[in-house]
Structure formats: structure tokens, C-alpha cells
Amino acid sequence: MLCPHCGSYAGENDILCPGCGALLNHGENREEGVRAIRQGRRARNASAAAAPRAASTGKAGASRIYVDPVAKQDTKEVPLYADPQVFNADGTPLVTGYDRPSRSVYGDTTRQQTMMPAHQRRKHPLSKHQVNWTHVAIVLFVLLVAAVVGVYFFLTKTDDGQLVMARFGQDATAAAMWEVGQEVMDTGDIDRAITMFETAVEKDGEENINVSGLLTLGSAYEAAGRVDEAEALYRSIYTDIVPSAPEAYRNVIRILLASDRRAEAGELMQTAYEATGNNTFRQQRMELLPQSPMVDLTAGYYTEKKTITLASPQGYDVYYTFDENAVLPEEGTLATESIHLDEGIWNLRAVAVSGELVSDPLKASYKVFMPSPQTPGYSLQPGTYDRRQRIWLRPGKENEKDDDITIYYTIDGSTPDADSPVWTGEPFYLPSGRVTLQAVAVNGNGKASNTLTVGYKFTFNPQPKKYYRVTDTANGLTLYSTTREDFFKAYGQGISMEEVWLKGINEVCQKYNYNWGHATMAKTKNGWVLAELYFTTTQFSGPRSTGIGSTENDVVSQFRDAGQVASPSGNRGLYDDDSYGTGKIYQNADGTRTIRYVAYTADSHEWQLDYELNTSGTVAAIRMLYIP
């Protein structure tokens, strides 16, 4: 409803007007709807017009019932627009003052002021207290402590706080040091960044290594010109921490190339490729190093001798080896000409060299196994014969049509080799006594067949002579038995003496020179004995009536001779027996010849007898030698 005094709106449950404090009458003049809403302005205008009329006529207008708030039971009817008046219980007006106007109501021409009794107006008491500055100080202190604690926890317990600490150069976590160090490095303060990075490394320790941070530290070292430290750091990363870290390899390779250490860079590229599997390292290495050498023969199996040639595609030097333990190129051979491969297995390795750069090795394996010819055939069956026989040799059936087969043979008891007689296609005779025929076939590749061995016994005359033996002496002198004293008694002490070494004797010997030759004495546990006798005059005679001036035939006829022909070199075997010894004629390069006999003793020593023939074919000197 609207207050009839001031026109203020009041709720249905309000007793007093919230605007002027007047008592409200909910039962009279109650309007509803739009009319009630419009009543406010019109009611005020009506009240303003009615007040002067009532005053001039002396008639009271509308009245209202006022309930005495003291008595709470007696009422007075008062004019609706009269000044508010409070009455006592006996009906007499209560003299009360009005301390303030509650509202002014304006009409068309008249202003009316409505006053509210003092005992009905709302009171708002104001407490007046003195300020307690101690309490204020305590509150401020608490707030300060809380702020300090908050700042402390922010700086020490949060990541952002640690960054702040690091930026101000205070101790902080490793993560903060890494981040702030990067910030500092970006500003160009490299030395300070290095210090912060090194501190971060120490804080991380060995159990929490920051590889990315270490790489950044290496970059800082490089920026500061500390390249050696950077290289050592990068190497430690892939050596001790992460062998498969490609960035560490790249950085070291870059440093090596920048310092012209290309050979080391090439080796590291190979190591990096093997450790990381990153093909870029292999490609980089191929671009850096020389290309591997080339060979003109494909590796494989061959049945004949081969020749290979090595070359570098880029014209560099090529070093090769067939030794699997050799180090290339240091222990290799410089390839300047073709290489011949005989029979066997050849594991070739070769590298091309350009300055200090060495290519990857060329590897090739060659297996050369040439077919061997068949064992030669023969015409005389083994057995005993009482008459002189001749014999033919021939190649094996599979080699009958081969024109590169050579047959070497012996009948003196020795094993045939390249210094043995060559069968020319003509038959030859076998001597009296026990004869062992041996023969091998050799093809054009030098491949030898198995050895043919056939034994015969011939009983016809004349029977062969005896082998040379230790009982064959010169002038009764026995090697390693005749003492120095006995020799001096017979031949004197010579014209001079010198110390010499003889074959097989571990101590120095004494050589006494004479006008007929010399005699050499060796020291034994029993004293000095004769170890060598060499003479060139007829003062001494050789064994079996041989001596100075004898012809080759005179000498050979006194000892066993199997009748073997000379080899292509001119040497001729006389006999070869494992139990008795050997006899052979040697053709010397100066045109002279030497007849040599060797006798085996029961205690495994040797007695050697040499006849030295001059170009005329006669004996010029005889030498007897003891070989322990």
C-alpha cells in the first residue's frame, strides 16, 4: 500500500511507514491493481490540496485511529492529515518533541513537513571506542611473518622460486641452474653460463646425468674457445654414458675435421655408425675417405696359377697383404706390379691411401688348387734279375696327351726333386746290387704327382763298391781321435796359428797353418784333438789310394756308384743311404767340381770327405772334416 502521508510504498505487514514513520491503516482506502500503482502521485496531490481547505473551514478531514504505544489499549481518533500527536492514557496529549522532519511532501503550491515522534524513529547507535595499537602491531607482525614464510616456501619449494634464486646467483636446483644457464648463454655471458652449467653437473651427480645439459655445456666450451675441453666432454658422453648418442659423435667429428684430423674423423665415423646404426655417419665416411681399391680377378676357386692387378679408382697408392695379422697400410706392400698367385689359399686385403686418409679394405679370397698329374708308369716289374736291365718311364694314363709333364727320377736312393735327372724318353740301365727306382711327374703348374718307388735286386758282376766309412783315413790320421800332441810330433806346429770356428763345434778351435795346408784342433774334455785336415800336396794320401792329382773317375771308382746320370744343373748323385751316408758330385759355378762323401757314425756324427777338382778334372785338394 502507499502511505497516505508521504506516498511511500509499504508492505502489507508493515505497521509504520518506512518513509515517514506514521501508523499505517491497512483497512481503509485499500487499492489494488493498476489503480494502486497509480495512486501514489494522485494521493499526494490530493493530500496537498485538502490540507489548506481543512484549515480554512475549520473542519476536520478524514481521521485515523492511533493506538497509544504506552497503553496499548486506549485509542484516539485523529485527523488523517493532522500533525502527529501522542496521547497519554488519560487522553491528555503527551508533550513530546519532534527532533527531525521525516519527509517533505510537495503539492501544487503548499509544502507540508511531516515530523516523526522521537520515540518512534529508528535509532542507529554509534559505538565510540579508543584504538588499541598493541593489537594493531600484533596483527601487522603476524602478517609480516606469514609473508616471510610464504616467500621462503616460494623460493625454496617451487620451481619458479628456484629460478628466481638462480637468477640472483644463489644456490638452486640443478634444473634451475640448467635453465638459467641457458638464459645467460643466450644473452652472451658465456663464462657465467659455463659456471652455472658446471654447478648443475655437480648437483646432478653420477646417478642423474643430464646428457642434453652436457651437450649444451660442450657448446659453451666451444663458444669460449675451450675446444679441447669440449672434445673431451663429448667423448666422455659416448664412451662412458650413452654409447649410442649421435649428437656427441657429430660434435667430435666436426671438431676433428675443423682441426684437419681427417683420419681420426674417418675412424670415428665408422665407430659412430656401428654404435648408433645411423647411416649418415657411413655416408659421411664414404664421402671423406678414398674409395676402396679394385682388383681385376674375381675371388673364387681356380685350378691354375693366376695373376692379379690392384688399382685405385682415384689414382691413389694401393697397399696390400696376404697376412691376416698385418696392419694396413703400415705393414702392407705397395702394389707396383702384377701379383702372382701360386697354388694355395690367398686371403687378399688392400687399401687405397691418400695422405693420412685410408680407404676401407678390399677383401678377396682366392683358392688355387691345381690338379696333380698321375704317378708315372714304368716298364720293368720289380724283382730280382741276374742280368743287366733297362727301363722306360711314362706319364700316367690321364696325362698321356699332356705336353707339359716332366718326369724326374733317381736310382741312387735319393728322393727325386728338381735337381734330379730328367727322363728324356730314352731307356736307361740299372746298376748291379740293390736298386730303388723313384720317379715323380710334374705338370706345367709345378704340381708334382705322388712318388713312384720300385725296388730291384741285380746279381750280375761287377758288384758295387762299398760306401765311404769312418775307417777310411788319410796317412792313418783319425778325426776326433788323433791328439794335438801326436800330430805335432809327426808334422810340427806349423808356421802360424789362428782361432776359428768349425761347423757344429760350440767352442773356438785352433787352426795351424802349414806349407801343405792346415790342421784344425778342437777342444774336448780329454784335450785337443784333430777335427779337420786339409792338404794340397802329395805329402798326404787320401783314402783308398786316392790323392792329389787323381782324376774324377779314379776317385769315383773306389766308392759305390749307382750309375745315375747328371741332372740339368750338372750335379750327379752317386748314392744315398740312410744307414751309411751319401755320395754326390757337385758342379761349381767357376767350372770346378767337388766330390763329396759323408759317412754316418754310430753316435750320429758325420765324417765329411771332399775331393776338390780343378778345371782339368784332377784332384787339387783333399779335405777331411768332423761334424758333431
The parent domain of residue 84 ranges over 1-124
Task: Give the residue-averaged pLDDT of 229-234.
Answer: 93
pLDDT surpassing 50 at residue 541: yes
* Contact call for residues 95 and 112 (beta carbons, < 8 A): no
Rounded to 10 degrees, the C-alpha dihedral 295/300/302/306 comes to 10
In degrees, rounded to 5, the angle at the alpha carbon of residue 79 between the alpha carbons of residues 75 and 84 is 75
pLDDT, residue 94, reads: 56
Residue 426's pLDDT band (cuts 50, 70, 90): very high
pLDDT, residue 447, reads: 87
Let me know whether 162 and 106 are in one domain: no
Let me know whether 383 and 347 are in one domain: no
pLDDT, residue 95, reads: 54
Minimum mean pLDDT among 71-85, 209-223, 561-575, 594-608: which range? 71-85
* Contact call for residues 450 and 309 (beta carbons, < 8 A): no
3-state secondary structure of 513: strand
Distance between CA atoms of residues 599 and 604, nearest Å: 10
Let me know whether 72 and 175 are in one domain: no
CA separation, residue 77 to residues 47, 86, 262 (Å) = 18, 11, 124
pLDDT digits (tens, 9 = 90+) for 433-481: 999 999 999 998 888 999 999 999 999 999 999 999 999 999 999 999 9
Distance between CA atoms of residues 11 and 26, nearest Å: 10
Let me know whether 394 and 432 are in one domain: yes
Single residue among 288, 318, 342 that ends a domain in this structure: 288
Residues 6+ apart with CB under 8 A from 624: 474, 477, 479, 532, 533, 534, 607, 608, 609, 610
Distance between CA atoms of residues 355 and 359, nearest Å: 11
How many C-beta neighbours within 10 Å does residue 254 have? 14
How many structural domains are present in the chain?
5
Percentage of the chain exceeding pLDDT 70: 83
How many C-beta neighbours within 10 Å does residue 56 have? 8
> Which set of grid coordinates corresponds to residue 420?
734330379
Distance between CA atoms of residues 92 and 84, nearest Å: 14
pLDDT digits (tens, 9 = 90+) for 308-318: 999 999 999 99
Answer whether the bond into residue 329 is a cis peptide, omega within 30°.
Answer: yes
Element (H, E) at 452: strand 452-458
CA separation, residue 98 to residues 3, 106, 116, 117, 229 (Å) = 20, 20, 6, 5, 99
Element (H, E) at 258: helix 246-258
pLDDT, residue 247, reads: 93
In degrees, rounded to 5, the angle at the alpha carbon of residue 181 between the alpha carbons of residues 165 and 221 is 150
Does some domain include residue 253? Answer: yes
- DSSP letters, 521-569, are EEEETTEEEEEEEEE-STTS--GGG--TT-BHHHHHTTS----PPPPTT
CA separation, residue 488 to residues 494, 509, 512, 536 (Å) = 8, 16, 10, 19
User: Which residue bears the cell 772334416?
Assistant: 625
User: Which residue bears the cell 759355378?
Assistant: 589
3-state secondary structure of 76: strand
User: Which residue bears the cell 791328439?
Assistant: 483
pLDDT surpassing 50 at residue 109: no
pLDDT, residue 90, reads: 60
HSE of 620, CA atoms in CB hemisphere, 13 A: 9
- DSSP letters, 459-482, are -PSSPPPPPP-TT--BTTB-TTTS
Does some domain include residue 239? Answer: yes
Single residue among 102, 124, 146 that ends a domain in this structure: 124
CA separation, residue 53 to residues 45, 78, 126, 252, 525 (Å) = 13, 17, 44, 115, 183
Let me know whether 283 and 341 are in one domain: no
Does some domain include residue 131? Answer: no
Element (H, E) at 150: helix 133-157
HSE of 465, CA atoms in CB hemisphere, 13 A: 17
Distance between CA atoms of residues 567 and 201, nearest Å: 85
3-state secondary structure of 153: helix
- DSSP letters, 298-309, are -SEEESS-EEE-
Answer whether the bond into residue 462 is a cis peptide, omega within 30°.
Answer: yes
Please state the separation of Cα 99 from the chain's center in Å.
107
> Which set of grid coordinates corresponds to residue 581?
751316408
Domain of residue 453, CATH code: 2.60.40.10
Mean pLDDT, the chain, as a whole number?
Answer: 84
Angle 174-186/159-167 helices, nearest 10 degrees? 50
Let me know whether 281 and 304 are in one domain: no
Residues 6+ apart with CB under 8 A from 617: 551, 552, 593
pLDDT, residue 62, reads: 45
Strand partners, 363: 349
Let me know whether 267 and 302 are in one domain: no
**What does pTM read for this prediction?**
0.52
Residues 6+ apart with CB under 8 A from 129: none
pLDDT, residue 572, reads: 97
pLDDT surpassing 90 at residue 54: no
Does some domain include residue 478? Answer: no
Single residue among 241, 261, 288 that ends a domain in this structure: 288
pLDDT, residue 596, reads: 97
Let me know whether 389 and 350 are in one domain: no
Let me know whether 282 and 151 are in one domain: yes
3-state secondary structure of 30: coil
Does some domain include residue 520? Answer: yes
Residues 6+ apart with CB under 8 A from 319: 328, 329, 332, 333, 334, 335, 350, 351, 353
Amino acid letter for position 258: A
Distance between CA atoms of residues 461 and 268, nearest Å: 84
* Contact call for residues 373 and 447 (beta carbons, < 8 A): yes
Does some domain include residue 472? Answer: no
Let me know whether 282 and 310 are in one domain: no
Does some domain include residue 548? Answer: yes
Looking only at Cα atoms, what is the longest distance across the chain?
207
Let me know whether 493 and 361 are in one domain: no
Does some domain include residue 370? Answer: no
Let me know whether 34 and 119 are in one domain: yes
Strand partners, 170: none
Minimum mean pLDDT among 25-39, 276-290, 334-348, 501-515: which range? 25-39
> Which set of grid coordinates corresponds to residue 548?
792329389
